[in-house]
Amino acid sequence: MSVPPRETLPPPSAHPPGGARPGRPGDGALLGWRGGAATGYGERIDAVGRQRVLFLGSPAAAVPAALAGWADRAGLVTRRVTGGDALMHEALRGRPRLAAVDARGAHREAGLRACVRIKADSYTAIVPTLCVVDPGAGALAEAFAAGADEVITEATGELEAAARLTAMLRRAERDLGVHPTTRLPGTPELEGELTRRLAAGEPFAACYADLDHFKEFNDRYGYNEGDRVIRMVGRLLHDVVKGSVGEAGFVGHIGGDDFLFIVPLESAVEVCAAIVETFELLVPFQYSDADRRAGYYFGKDRRGQLHRVPLMSLSIGVATTDRRRYASALQVSRLASEMKSYAKTLPGSVYAVDRRGEAGPQRGGVERGPVDGQPEEGPRAEERR
Protein backbone atom coordinates (compact mmCIF):
# COMPACT_ATOMS: atom_id res chain seq x y z
CA MET A 1 0.00 0.00 0.00
CA SER A 2 1.25 3.46 -0.85
CA VAL A 3 0.67 5.70 2.17
CA PRO A 4 0.17 9.40 1.30
CA PRO A 5 2.58 11.86 2.94
CA ARG A 6 1.22 13.31 6.17
CA GLU A 7 1.10 16.85 4.79
CA THR A 8 -1.15 15.80 1.88
CA LEU A 9 -3.78 14.11 4.02
CA PRO A 10 -7.32 15.49 3.76
CA PRO A 11 -8.16 18.39 6.08
CA PRO A 12 -9.39 17.49 9.55
CA SER A 13 -13.13 17.30 10.09
CA ALA A 14 -14.93 19.54 12.53
CA HIS A 15 -14.97 18.65 16.18
CA PRO A 16 -18.15 16.82 17.23
CA PRO A 17 -20.41 18.73 19.61
CA GLY A 18 -18.94 18.76 23.07
CA GLY A 19 -15.79 17.09 21.84
CA ALA A 20 -13.40 20.02 21.78
CA ARG A 21 -10.92 20.45 24.56
CA PRO A 22 -11.93 23.30 26.87
CA GLY A 23 -10.42 26.65 26.09
CA ARG A 24 -8.76 29.08 28.44
CA PRO A 25 -10.28 28.97 31.91
CA GLY A 26 -11.46 32.17 33.51
CA ASP A 27 -9.56 33.99 36.23
CA GLY A 28 -9.58 32.14 39.50
CA ALA A 29 -10.55 28.88 37.86
CA LEU A 30 -7.33 28.10 36.11
CA LEU A 31 -6.99 24.70 37.72
CA GLY A 32 -10.64 23.78 37.89
CA TRP A 33 -10.52 21.62 34.76
CA ARG A 34 -10.44 17.97 35.73
CA GLY A 35 -10.04 16.33 32.33
CA GLY A 36 -6.61 17.05 31.01
CA ALA A 37 -3.84 14.85 29.81
CA ALA A 38 -3.77 12.63 32.85
CA THR A 39 -7.27 11.28 32.24
CA GLY A 40 -7.77 12.29 28.61
CA TYR A 41 -10.50 14.86 28.17
CA GLY A 42 -13.60 13.30 26.65
CA GLU A 43 -12.33 9.73 27.01
CA ARG A 44 -15.07 7.17 26.88
CA ILE A 45 -15.37 4.54 29.60
CA ASP A 46 -17.25 1.27 29.81
CA ALA A 47 -20.12 0.41 32.15
CA VAL A 48 -17.83 -0.32 35.07
CA GLY A 49 -15.82 2.88 34.66
CA ARG A 50 -12.78 1.55 32.82
CA GLN A 51 -11.21 3.38 29.90
CA ARG A 52 -11.16 1.63 26.55
CA VAL A 53 -8.70 0.24 24.08
CA LEU A 54 -10.21 0.02 20.59
CA PHE A 55 -8.82 -2.87 18.55
CA LEU A 56 -9.46 -2.90 14.81
CA GLY A 57 -8.95 -6.27 13.20
CA SER A 58 -10.65 -8.94 11.15
CA PRO A 59 -13.20 -11.07 13.04
CA ALA A 60 -10.81 -14.00 12.91
CA ALA A 61 -7.77 -12.09 14.22
CA ALA A 62 -6.93 -12.51 17.88
CA VAL A 63 -5.91 -9.53 19.98
CA PRO A 64 -2.12 -9.89 20.40
CA ALA A 65 -1.38 -11.48 23.75
CA ALA A 66 1.12 -8.76 24.68
CA LEU A 67 -1.50 -6.03 24.08
CA ALA A 68 -4.28 -7.91 25.86
CA GLY A 69 -2.12 -8.61 28.89
CA TRP A 70 -0.85 -5.06 29.15
CA ALA A 71 -4.38 -3.61 28.85
CA ASP A 72 -5.69 -5.96 31.54
CA ARG A 73 -2.89 -5.04 33.95
CA ALA A 74 -3.50 -1.34 33.24
CA GLY A 75 -7.21 -1.69 34.07
CA LEU A 76 -8.31 -1.01 30.48
CA VAL A 77 -11.09 -2.84 28.69
CA THR A 78 -10.43 -3.93 25.08
CA ARG A 79 -13.27 -3.42 22.60
CA ARG A 80 -13.05 -4.99 19.16
CA VAL A 81 -14.32 -3.09 16.11
CA THR A 82 -14.39 -4.21 12.48
CA GLY A 83 -13.73 -1.71 9.70
CA GLY A 84 -12.31 1.77 9.56
CA ASP A 85 -15.77 3.36 9.70
CA ALA A 86 -16.56 1.63 12.97
CA LEU A 87 -13.22 2.67 14.42
CA MET A 88 -13.78 6.32 13.52
CA HIS A 89 -17.37 6.22 14.80
CA GLU A 90 -16.29 4.90 18.19
CA ALA A 91 -13.31 7.23 18.46
CA LEU A 92 -15.42 10.29 17.58
CA ARG A 93 -18.09 9.36 20.13
CA GLY A 94 -15.48 9.54 22.86
CA ARG A 95 -11.72 9.31 22.76
CA PRO A 96 -10.38 5.88 23.67
CA ARG A 97 -7.29 5.57 25.81
CA LEU A 98 -5.59 3.85 22.91
CA ALA A 99 -6.41 2.66 19.39
CA ALA A 100 -4.76 -0.47 18.04
CA VAL A 101 -5.02 -1.48 14.38
CA ASP A 102 -4.14 -4.87 12.97
CA ALA A 103 -2.10 -4.47 9.78
CA ARG A 104 -1.00 -8.08 9.49
CA GLY A 105 -1.41 -10.36 6.51
CA ALA A 106 -4.51 -9.78 4.40
CA HIS A 107 -5.64 -7.00 6.75
CA ARG A 108 -2.50 -4.96 6.08
CA GLU A 109 -3.92 -2.34 3.71
CA ALA A 110 -7.17 -1.93 5.68
CA GLY A 111 -5.19 -1.45 8.88
CA LEU A 112 -2.85 1.14 7.39
CA ARG A 113 -5.76 3.05 5.85
CA ALA A 114 -7.49 3.12 9.24
CA CYS A 115 -4.33 4.45 10.84
CA VAL A 116 -4.14 7.25 8.25
CA ARG A 117 -7.80 8.14 8.86
CA ILE A 118 -7.54 8.33 12.64
CA LYS A 119 -4.50 10.59 12.40
CA ALA A 120 -6.06 12.85 9.74
CA ASP A 121 -8.92 14.00 11.98
CA SER A 122 -8.07 16.76 14.44
CA TYR A 123 -10.23 15.23 17.18
CA THR A 124 -8.90 11.67 16.94
CA ALA A 125 -5.33 12.50 15.89
CA ILE A 126 -4.25 12.82 19.53
CA VAL A 127 -5.40 9.27 20.34
CA PRO A 128 -2.26 7.14 20.89
CA THR A 129 -2.32 4.65 18.01
CA LEU A 130 -0.60 1.29 17.93
CA CYS A 131 -0.07 -0.66 14.72
CA VAL A 132 0.42 -4.44 14.84
CA VAL A 133 2.38 -5.59 11.79
CA ASP A 134 4.14 -8.62 10.39
CA PRO A 135 7.87 -8.89 11.18
CA GLY A 136 10.15 -6.96 8.84
CA ALA A 137 11.61 -3.49 8.49
CA GLY A 138 9.36 -2.65 5.52
CA ALA A 139 6.16 -3.27 7.48
CA LEU A 140 7.44 -1.21 10.38
CA ALA A 141 8.33 1.71 8.09
CA GLU A 142 4.90 1.58 6.43
CA ALA A 143 3.13 1.71 9.79
CA PHE A 144 5.07 4.75 10.97
CA ALA A 145 4.48 6.45 7.60
CA ALA A 146 0.75 5.90 8.12
CA GLY A 147 0.97 7.83 11.39
CA ALA A 148 1.31 5.09 14.00
CA ASP A 149 2.71 6.23 17.33
CA GLU A 150 4.10 2.79 18.13
CA VAL A 151 4.52 -0.51 16.25
CA ILE A 152 4.81 -4.06 17.52
CA THR A 153 4.83 -7.51 15.91
CA GLU A 154 3.81 -10.93 17.16
CA ALA A 155 7.47 -11.50 17.90
CA THR A 156 7.67 -8.52 20.28
CA GLY A 157 8.15 -9.86 23.79
CA GLU A 158 5.60 -9.10 26.49
CA LEU A 159 7.98 -7.01 28.59
CA GLU A 160 9.15 -5.00 25.59
CA ALA A 161 5.59 -4.45 24.37
CA ALA A 162 4.49 -3.29 27.82
CA ALA A 163 7.39 -0.84 28.00
CA ARG A 164 6.64 0.50 24.51
CA LEU A 165 2.92 0.92 25.20
CA THR A 166 3.47 2.62 28.55
CA ALA A 167 6.02 4.99 27.01
CA MET A 168 3.59 5.78 24.17
CA LEU A 169 0.88 6.81 26.63
CA ARG A 170 3.40 8.87 28.59
CA ARG A 171 4.43 10.72 25.42
CA ALA A 172 0.80 11.32 24.51
CA GLU A 173 0.01 12.74 27.95
CA ARG A 174 3.05 15.02 27.79
CA ASP A 175 2.14 16.27 24.32
CA LEU A 176 -1.47 16.95 25.35
CA GLY A 177 -0.33 18.97 28.33
CA VAL A 178 1.91 21.30 26.32
CA HIS A 179 0.51 24.61 25.08
CA PRO A 180 0.84 24.70 21.28
CA THR A 181 1.97 28.33 21.08
CA THR A 182 4.65 28.41 23.77
CA ARG A 183 5.39 24.69 24.29
CA LEU A 184 5.07 25.33 28.02
CA PRO A 185 3.16 22.95 30.32
CA GLY A 186 -0.58 23.60 30.56
CA THR A 187 -3.13 23.53 33.37
CA PRO A 188 -2.96 19.80 34.24
CA GLU A 189 0.79 20.02 34.80
CA LEU A 190 0.42 23.26 36.76
CA GLU A 191 -2.16 21.66 39.02
CA GLY A 192 0.07 18.63 39.50
CA GLU A 193 3.10 20.75 40.38
CA LEU A 194 1.17 22.87 42.89
CA THR A 195 -0.33 19.75 44.45
CA ARG A 196 3.09 18.14 44.71
CA ARG A 197 4.63 21.17 46.43
CA LEU A 198 1.72 21.48 48.84
CA ALA A 199 1.99 17.79 49.76
CA ALA A 200 5.76 18.12 50.28
CA GLY A 201 5.32 21.18 52.49
CA GLU A 202 7.71 23.22 50.35
CA PRO A 203 7.60 27.02 50.87
CA PHE A 204 6.86 28.51 47.46
CA ALA A 205 5.30 31.43 45.60
CA ALA A 206 2.78 31.00 42.80
CA CYS A 207 2.96 33.96 40.43
CA TYR A 208 0.11 34.67 38.00
CA ALA A 209 1.28 36.84 35.07
CA ASP A 210 -1.11 38.55 32.68
CA LEU A 211 -0.61 41.05 29.87
CA ASP A 212 -2.42 44.39 30.00
CA HIS A 213 -3.83 45.83 26.74
CA PHE A 214 -3.01 42.65 24.83
CA LYS A 215 -6.44 42.46 23.18
CA GLU A 216 -6.01 45.92 21.67
CA PHE A 217 -2.53 44.95 20.42
CA ASN A 218 -3.97 41.80 18.85
CA ASP A 219 -6.74 43.80 17.16
CA ARG A 220 -4.30 46.34 15.76
CA TYR A 221 -1.42 44.11 14.67
CA GLY A 222 -3.15 40.78 14.00
CA TYR A 223 -3.08 37.35 15.60
CA ASN A 224 0.31 36.41 14.10
CA GLU A 225 1.97 39.30 15.91
CA GLY A 226 -0.11 38.49 18.98
CA ASP A 227 1.17 34.91 18.99
CA ARG A 228 4.71 36.22 18.62
CA VAL A 229 4.27 38.36 21.73
CA ILE A 230 2.84 35.39 23.65
CA ARG A 231 5.88 33.31 22.65
CA MET A 232 8.17 36.16 23.70
CA VAL A 233 6.54 36.39 27.14
CA GLY A 234 6.67 32.62 27.57
CA ARG A 235 10.37 32.58 26.70
CA LEU A 236 11.04 35.54 29.00
CA LEU A 237 9.34 33.87 31.96
CA HIS A 238 11.07 30.56 31.29
CA ASP A 239 14.53 32.08 30.89
CA VAL A 240 14.33 34.32 33.97
CA VAL A 241 12.83 31.62 36.21
CA LYS A 242 15.21 28.89 35.09
CA GLY A 243 18.16 31.28 35.09
CA SER A 244 17.37 32.38 38.64
CA VAL A 245 16.33 29.19 40.42
CA GLY A 246 17.08 26.39 37.94
CA GLU A 247 15.09 23.20 38.41
CA ALA A 248 13.41 24.62 41.52
CA GLY A 249 11.25 26.76 39.22
CA PHE A 250 8.24 25.79 37.12
CA VAL A 251 6.65 27.82 34.31
CA GLY A 252 3.26 27.03 32.79
CA HIS A 253 0.93 28.61 30.25
CA ILE A 254 -2.71 28.72 31.32
CA GLY A 255 -3.92 30.00 27.96
CA GLY A 256 -4.13 33.22 25.97
CA ASP A 257 -1.97 35.84 27.69
CA ASP A 258 -2.16 34.19 31.12
CA PHE A 259 0.83 32.40 32.64
CA LEU A 260 1.67 30.97 36.03
CA PHE A 261 5.15 30.30 37.36
CA ILE A 262 6.22 28.76 40.66
CA VAL A 263 9.45 29.61 42.46
CA PRO A 264 10.91 29.05 45.94
CA LEU A 265 9.47 31.53 48.41
CA GLU A 266 12.75 33.34 49.06
CA SER A 267 13.27 33.99 45.33
CA ALA A 268 9.84 35.38 44.47
CA VAL A 269 10.61 39.10 44.73
CA GLU A 270 13.92 38.85 42.87
CA VAL A 271 12.39 36.80 40.03
CA CYS A 272 9.32 39.01 39.65
CA ALA A 273 11.43 42.18 39.64
CA ALA A 274 13.71 40.75 36.95
CA ILE A 275 10.76 39.73 34.80
CA VAL A 276 9.08 43.13 35.08
CA GLU A 277 12.30 44.99 34.32
CA THR A 278 13.13 42.84 31.30
CA PHE A 279 9.60 43.02 29.95
CA GLU A 280 9.67 46.82 30.08
CA LEU A 281 12.86 46.78 28.04
CA LEU A 282 11.43 44.43 25.40
CA VAL A 283 7.84 45.56 24.97
CA PRO A 284 8.43 48.83 23.04
CA PHE A 285 10.10 46.87 20.25
CA GLN A 286 6.90 44.89 19.64
CA TYR A 287 5.32 48.04 18.14
CA SER A 288 5.78 50.05 14.98
CA ASP A 289 8.17 52.98 15.09
CA ALA A 290 5.31 55.47 15.17
CA ASP A 291 3.47 53.76 18.04
CA ARG A 292 6.71 53.21 19.95
CA ARG A 293 7.72 56.87 19.70
CA ALA A 294 4.26 58.06 20.74
CA GLY A 295 3.97 55.55 23.57
CA TYR A 296 0.34 54.90 22.67
CA TYR A 297 -2.08 54.51 19.79
CA PHE A 298 -5.81 54.92 19.24
CA GLY A 299 -8.00 51.84 19.33
CA LYS A 300 -11.66 50.97 19.70
CA ASP A 301 -13.18 49.49 22.82
CA ARG A 302 -15.94 46.86 22.88
CA ARG A 303 -18.55 49.57 22.27
CA GLY A 304 -16.72 50.85 19.22
CA GLN A 305 -15.56 54.02 20.94
CA LEU A 306 -12.12 55.35 20.05
CA HIS A 307 -9.73 55.71 22.97
CA ARG A 308 -6.02 56.02 23.66
CA VAL A 309 -4.31 52.69 24.30
CA PRO A 310 -0.96 52.61 26.11
CA LEU A 311 1.76 50.10 25.30
CA MET A 312 1.37 46.68 26.86
CA SER A 313 2.41 46.12 30.46
CA LEU A 314 2.72 43.01 32.60
CA SER A 315 0.83 42.45 35.86
CA ILE A 316 1.92 39.67 38.23
CA GLY A 317 -0.08 38.52 41.26
CA VAL A 318 1.81 36.46 43.83
CA ALA A 319 0.35 34.02 46.35
CA THR A 320 2.78 32.50 48.85
CA THR A 321 2.85 29.88 51.57
CA ASP A 322 4.47 32.40 53.93
CA ARG A 323 1.37 33.22 55.99
CA ARG A 324 -1.27 30.86 54.63
CA ARG A 325 -2.10 27.18 54.49
CA TYR A 326 -3.85 25.85 51.41
CA ALA A 327 -6.10 22.83 51.09
CA SER A 328 -5.73 22.53 47.32
CA ALA A 329 -3.98 23.83 44.22
CA LEU A 330 -7.22 25.59 43.27
CA GLN A 331 -7.02 27.77 46.39
CA VAL A 332 -3.48 28.81 45.48
CA SER A 333 -4.47 29.72 41.94
CA ARG A 334 -7.50 31.70 43.11
CA LEU A 335 -5.43 33.83 45.45
CA ALA A 336 -2.74 34.38 42.81
CA SER A 337 -5.48 35.43 40.38
CA GLU A 338 -6.93 37.80 42.97
CA MET A 339 -3.54 39.43 43.43
CA LYS A 340 -3.11 39.65 39.66
CA SER A 341 -6.44 41.48 39.40
CA TYR A 342 -5.21 43.92 42.03
CA ALA A 343 -1.91 44.44 40.18
CA LYS A 344 -3.87 45.28 37.02
CA THR A 345 -5.42 48.28 38.78
CA LEU A 346 -1.95 49.83 39.09
CA PRO A 347 -0.28 51.65 36.20
CA GLY A 348 2.60 50.07 34.32
CA SER A 349 4.25 46.71 34.81
CA VAL A 350 4.11 45.66 38.46
CA TYR A 351 3.92 42.64 40.73
CA ALA A 352 1.78 42.42 43.86
CA VAL A 353 2.58 39.95 46.65
CA ASP A 354 -0.08 38.89 49.12
CA ARG A 355 1.12 39.50 52.70
CA ARG A 356 -2.18 38.91 54.46
CA GLY A 357 -2.67 36.18 57.00
CA GLU A 358 -5.48 33.66 57.04
CA ALA A 359 -7.54 36.00 59.24
CA GLY A 360 -7.98 38.35 56.30
CA PRO A 361 -6.58 41.64 55.00
CA GLN A 362 -4.28 43.54 57.33
CA ARG A 363 -2.60 46.93 57.18
CA GLY A 364 0.31 46.74 54.80
CA GLY A 365 -1.02 43.46 53.49
CA VAL A 366 0.12 43.85 49.90
CA GLU A 367 3.65 44.16 48.67
CA ARG A 368 3.82 45.99 45.37
CA GLY A 369 6.93 45.60 43.41
CA PRO A 370 9.46 48.23 42.64
CA VAL A 371 12.25 47.19 40.36
CA ASP A 372 14.98 49.26 41.95
CA GLY A 373 15.84 48.62 45.58
CA GLN A 374 13.98 46.50 48.10
CA PRO A 375 10.18 46.16 47.99
CA GLU A 376 8.17 48.11 50.49
CA GLU A 377 5.06 47.13 52.38
CA GLY A 378 2.23 49.51 53.01
CA PRO A 379 -0.17 51.64 51.07
CA ARG A 380 2.46 53.30 48.85
CA ALA A 381 3.55 51.56 45.68
CA GLU A 382 6.44 52.14 43.36
CA GLU A 383 6.03 51.03 39.77
CA ARG A 384 8.41 50.66 36.91
CA ARG A 385 6.84 52.24 33.82
Binning pLDDT at 50, 70 and 90, where does residue 356 land? Answer: confident
Tens of pLDDT along 198-221?
A: 999 999 999 999 999 999 999 999
Q: Are residues 253 and 142 in the same domain?
A: no
- Are 375 and 355 in contact by the 8 Å Cβ rule? The answer is no
Domain count, the chain: 2
d(CA 11, CA 13): 6
Which among 176, 170, 140 has a CA at the least distance from the CA of 155?
A: 140
Model confidence pLDDT, tens digit, residues 254-282: 999 999 999 999 999 999 999 999 999 99
For residues 68 and 103, state if they share a domain: yes
Residues 300, 370 within the same domain: yes
Domain that holds residue 264: 187-377
Average pLDDT over residues 23-45: 39
Strand partners, 314: 211
Give the pLDDT confidence score for residue 37 in this predicted structure. 35
Q: How far apart are CA 207 and CA 251, in angstroms?
A: 9
Residue 384 domain flag: no
Is the pLDDT at 120 greater than 50? The verdict is yes
Q: Is 154 in the same domain as 234?
A: no
Q: Say which CATH number the domain at 161 has.
A: 3.40.50.2300
